[in-house]
Amino acid sequence: MFQLKPNLFLQQHQPGFHIYIEIGRATQGFDQCNLLGSGGFGSVYKGMFENGMTLAIKVFNLRIEGAFKSFDIECEVLHNLRHRNLAKVISSCTNMDFKALLLEYMPNGSLEKCDLKPSNVLLDERLVGHVSDFGLAKLFGEGESVAHTKTLATMGYIAPVCDWIGVTCGSRHHRVRALNVSNLNILGNIPPQLGNLSFLVSLDLSSNNFQGDLPQDLSRLRRLKVMNLANNNFTGQIPKDFGNLMRLEKLVLVSNKLSGSIPFSIFNISSLEILALTYNQLSGSLPVDICRRLQKIKSISIISNHLSGQIPTGLSNCTELYELSLSYNNFSGTIPPEIVNLERLQFLNLGGNNLQGIIPREIGNLHKLEILYLQINKLSGSIPEGLFNISTLTEVSVFFNNLSGSLPSASGYWQTNLQLLNLGQNNIGGVIPTSISNSSNLEIIDLSINKFSGQIPNSLGDLRDLEYLDLFVNNLSSPHLSILTSLVNCRYLKEVILGENPLYGVLPDSIGNLSISIMELELYSSEIRGQIPLGIGNLSNLNTLSLSGNDLTGSVPTTLCDLHILQRLGLGLNRLSGSLPECLCKMSSLGLLSLYYNRISGPIPSCIGNATSLRNAYLNSNRLTNIPTSLWSLKYLLVLNLSNNSLIGSIPPELGNLKAITSINLSRNHLSGSIPSTIGDLQSLVYLSLAYNELQGSIPESLGKMISLESANLSNNILSGTIPKSLELLRYLKNFNVSFNRLEGEIPSKGPFLNFNSQSFMGNGGLCGGLVFQPCMTRSFHHSRRGKLLLIILVSLGAAVMVLGSIVVFMLRRRWNRNIPTEAESFAATTLARISYIEIERATQGFDQCNLLGSGGFGSVYKGMFANGMTLAIKVFNLQVEGALKSFDAECEVLRNLRHRNLTKVVSSCTNLDFKALLLEYMPNGSLELWLHSDDRFLNMIQRLDIMIDVAFALEYLHHGYETVVVHSDLKPSNVLLDEKLVGHVSDFGLTKLLGEGESIAHTNTLATMGYIAPEYGSVGLVSTRCDVYSYGIMLMETFTRNRPYDEMFDGNLSMRSWVCNSVPAMPEDIIDVTLMEPEKTHFQEKLCCVSSILEVALHCTTESPNERLNMIEVLANIKKIKQEFLRK
């Protein structure tokens, strides 16, 4: 019985409406006594209506596939047809749950059309015949006489079988020998009667929509040689009885949803030549003696299933095999060396498994091999040289393994037909052989993320068919960037990716002569200098250009605007100057514009609103001066970063037009005015930073409508008023900072505010309550005229008393000549409130030793707990030590404007002639040195990596991210402090040097800590960013070996660097911190590989020549990649 909804509507074909309720009554609830008959798509009932009319009601069973279509066809056919011998449709009742046709009732039943048969001929009271049931009817267009159908009518009433489409019969017995109904979009299950076609030799039902289990009855087709059921929706297991098909030559079940194991009986079919089970969900293993009976097998393809176990050694007995494809399963173990006995093998595909060990050396003996896929495994060792002597070889893919060694360079190699060579993401080293160009058909070369060194051979330019070249992340060079000139000969070139190699050179003018088909050019972080050639505008099909992280100078050439289909432009982290060319607005396809960390000045072009495809704009850390109104019309913009510029003016209400925006960063500018209330319209915004501006007014209540907001930083402005309670509704808000404003009133205490600490609100004298500040006082004093007068009198009286008291204290102090300071002057740039010496003394309990956190060359650091509940670190300078005053001044100058999450924040200062102290953010987990060299503390591999990445981020900012180059000069583990989440913060800027514009080296007479200082620092007093890099390298060594550079073992003949350098290639495990590398612990080899890579970076940081050291941008990129690789493994 159908489950129907009451809100049915009636579709009229003839006059009269009959709703479902009337139909239900007329058929007595579809009672069986009124059932006239059933068919393929439903049933027909007799219905007697209240008006006395008797009708036949054909109810369609919508659960049957095709019933919908049958109903629509009958409606279409019978809508206009009128004939005395056709059954009349009186009306219909239809909605999504119920469809019925109301037909003229024929009292004498059927005589028992595409589907003409006796049951579809109905007889009226005079025995006049009426043709009915038009569910399979076809409508022919004008001039048409033939049509194709994918739906079968009733057997016995259709044309002879041998005349059917796709049926081939034998000439002698006229029995069906072949059935091919592929690509007909047939629905449903395979009828089991198919197993009765005992003469069937070939069955092809591929590329349809068959479903359900494979019928056992097919195993009765004993003459069958070909079974192709590919590209359907079959489920369940492969029937074991298929092994009885002893004449079967081809079994193709590709692209279904079959599960379970492969019946071993299949491997007993001695006639089988092709076994294709790719793209299913098969599990289990393959039999060890897989080829004992499969003597004729030529192709085994079982890609993308869930097979496990080892690859059977018995495959060597399949001597006729030309294809073995078992990729993307869960096979483990090694590649059986017996495979090399398969002399006819042309395709070997074992990629995407868990195979270990080496690639068998004898694989070079497979002289007919054309394709070798071993990618995404755990293979090690070198690639057999003989592989590159197989002349038939066309494709080699071994990316994402642990392969090492080098490539053969002798002239006799590479005489192949190679078209694809993918060796990416391994540990292969040495040079790229010049003779690689002997494989003149090469189209794709991917050697990325390896350890190749030396020069990129210009012979690559001889590969005239080359389309894709990826050498990303190696140690390759190209004097004068001659590789780009040589590639001019490759006229089909589409992608060139050479990023993160020390290419050393100037972009040649010939870059404009590269193939006009080139679509992607990536040369980021490659130590390229000079200007961007004008000819680059000739590459008219370019969609990606990345030159970030180099040393490019000059202006952005206007010829870039000739790249009309460019989608991604990356020029960040260079020294480009001048203004943004207005023609950028005409780049209609540009989606990513990245120019961060340059020296671009002037206004953003007023036409920027025309760049309607722009999605991500990174223009931060430049010298831009204003934001045009048109920018706010970019309604599809996703990311906008204009931080750290010189922007002036206000934020207009049109900000609310950026409906798709997810990230806005306008921090560190000179924006004024108020925050527009329309900001609440940014429902997709996740990240918002307006910090370090001059914004005034209140925080808009509408901020509470920004339902996606996760981070909001409004700190260091001049905002006033209260924090809106509406922000308590922001359920995803994780980071919130309104510190150093002029806010007042009660801090919200619900929702996300349950998780914020005092640092989010410090520097606002009028804030109270919440979970971090003192409770708000209830006001009982009413501001009447009398009250105001009284208040004025009290304030005046209090001021007079304070002045008088100050004079008395001053006189007493002069009389007794005491040295205790009495005045506190706040640190101008980051003031929290005026903090006096008395408050500091109380907070440290009189500078008690129990609060001493540590001592250094110029003073001591104490823990201070203030009356408002705030805990700070207080660095008190010993002014009796020579240089202490200078150290204090240096820290003040450096920290006044520097802002970075990995630098220790200065909250305030207290200073006069006799006393100087800095009040710093308190780090509850102490220093990195404490964690490295304490027996009761331990940092795991990831924690150490994260801390050193934090330090690298800080140094990258000091060296490259601030308008003045800052050299720390005293980097060591004790100057890296850890917060509650073990995030690293670089501290102690007492020896810091600020380098003026154009300067790269300074002189100093002050020595930093021995063991961490660079050779040039200690010998001649030269200070540069390379000195910090050296110190960072020593810190890396200490962090992962747990040895200090000044330990006793390091005497005049042995330094920490030489100790590491001598150990890393041969026995790195001998020097790595044993607590990290205990062999019984898991992932020993992964950890060993990771730390070895880290120590290699450390060695590159500590070369004797400063010019050979990495810069911090490179260091950071390397350490992050090492971490990613470790996590991947």
CA dist 706 and 688 (Å) reads 10
Length of the chain: 1129
Cβ(1126)–Cβ(941) below 8 Å: yes
CA dist 941 and 934 (Å) reads 16
β-sheet bridge partners, residue 986? 903, 976
- The tokens for 201 are 């030799």
| Pairing of β 167-169 and β 187-188 | unpaired
Q: Which helix (H) or strand (E) holds 93?
A: strand 89-94
Catalytic-labelled residue, pool 970, 988, 1028, 1073: 970
**How many other C-beta atoms are found inside a 10 Å radius of the C-beta of residue 496?**
24
CA dist 343 and 339 (Å) reads 9
- The tokens for 706 are 């920004």
Main-chain phi, psi angles of 1057, to 5 degrees: -65, -45
Q: Which helix (H) or strand (E) holds 39?
A: strand 35-39
CA dist 690 and 534 (Å) reads 37
Closest by CA to 1068, choosing from 1092, 1094, 1104, is 1092
Closest by CA to 119, choosing from 72, 159, 87, 150, is 87
Residue with tokens 């940092």: 939
What is the chain's alpha carbon radius of gyration, rounded to the nearest angstrom?
40
Closest by CA to 184, choosing from 202, 172, 163, 167, is 167
Q: Which amino acid is at 68?
A: F
β-sheet bridge partners, residue 454? 476
- Longest Cα–Cα distance in the chain: 138
CA dist 396 and 445 (Å) reads 10
Give the three-state DSSP class for 1058. Answer: helix
Q: Which residues, in sequence order, are CB contacts of 528 under 8 Å at separation 6+?
A: 481, 503, 504, 505, 506, 507, 547, 550, 551, 552
The reply to whether 988 belongs to the active site is no
**How many other C-beta atoms are found inside a 10 Å radius of the C-beta of residue 459?**
15
β-sheet bridge partners, residue 863? 873
Main-chain phi, psi angles of 250, to 5 degrees: -130, 125
Closest by CA to 164, choosing from 306, 173, 176, 1048, is 176
Cβ(546)–Cβ(568) below 8 Å: yes
| Pairing of β 89-94 and β 99-104 | antiparallel
- The tokens for 1053 are 């003949």
Q: Check the annotation: does 58 bind a ligand.
A: yes
Residue with tokens 């490019």: 552
Distance set, CA 914 to CA 351, 674, 825 (Å): 73, 42, 13
Residue with tokens 């009398």: 786
Q: Which amino acid is at 62?
A: L
| Pairing of β 444-446 and β 420-422 | parallel
CA dist 690 and 903 (Å) reads 20
Give the three-state DSSP class for 347. Answer: strand
Handedness of CA 970, 972, 975, 976 (dihedral sign): positive
Cβ(259)–Cβ(236) below 8 Å: yes
- The tokens for 966 are 């800052």
Residue with tokens 């050393």: 504
Cβ(339)–Cβ(360) below 8 Å: yes
Residues annotated as catalytic are: 970
Annotated binding-site positions: 58, 875
Binding residues for ATP: 58, 875
